[in-house]
Structure 1
């Protein structure tokens, strides 16, 4: 079964982004001084105008999208076996 185009497009975006893991660090929650940021293997990302929840979502999306694509591919392969 062919996967939808958006799966391949999402996978291309993941593969083009800075390698993970990405980790959200929130001032006052994860450290005491400085600013809130997302740590990546390529450097820190600082956001303006984002809520803590937005920042956590963006940081976790780097790993979550990879896991979701792997699960879609796994489920798709099970359908192909039938």
Structure 2
């Protein structure tokens, strides 16, 4: 499967951000005493004689759990393109969670689909659902506009 990310903010290196977050001491970090934070491994992040304010220490401590959540959300919200042979595209579509929205730029028209709880796709303006294989057979790039939450 070929997956590419599109969007205006291509300078944001999510892989590098995620790698730094993964390499940091495991969180969550907890508040102790007078505004200091300590990690599960005992690393202390504390206000220090004016070097780090209480607000700075709180920001640093929360970054350990905030950053991975933010990276995951940016990845979920960024449009991406799925292309490849019918089997690969079908598998990618089947793997998307319920509520996902895609567009398929067919030769004659641009179709928008939303995935249902039954794993089928409804195209805008239609009353019958389609399986992923039906969409994949168009053999045109498919843009994932939004991944659903699976609910």
TM-score for both structures, normalised by structure 2: 0.42
Structure 2 residues without counterparts, runs of 5 or longer: 80-100, 103-142, 146-151
Q: Are residues 1:19 and 2:26 paired? A: yes
Structure 1 residues without counterparts, runs of 5 or longer: 28-35
Structure 1 or 2, whichever has the larger Rg, is: 2
Structure 2 residue matching 1:81: 3-state secondary structure: strand
Q: CA offset at residue 81 of structure 1?
A: 1.7
TM-score for both structures, normalised by structure 1: 0.72
Q: CA offset at residue 76 of structure 1?
A: 2.2
Structure 2 residue matching 1:24: 3-state secondary structure: strand
Q: How far, CA to CA, are the matches of 1:12 and 1:44 in structure 2?
A: 19
1:44 alignment counterpart: 43
Query: Does the C-alpha gap of structure 1 residues 75 and 53 become closer, same or farther in structure 2, counting only changes over 3 Å?
Result: same
Q: How far, CA to CA, are the matches of 1:26 and 1:55 in structure 2?
A: 13
Of Structure 1 and Structure 2, the greater strand share is in: 2
Q: Are residues 1:81 and 2:144 paired? A: yes
Cα pair 2:45 2:57 within 8 Å, conserved: no
Aligned residues: 74
Q: Are residues 1:2 and 2:9 paired? A: no
Q: CA offset at residue 38 of structure 1?
A: 1.5
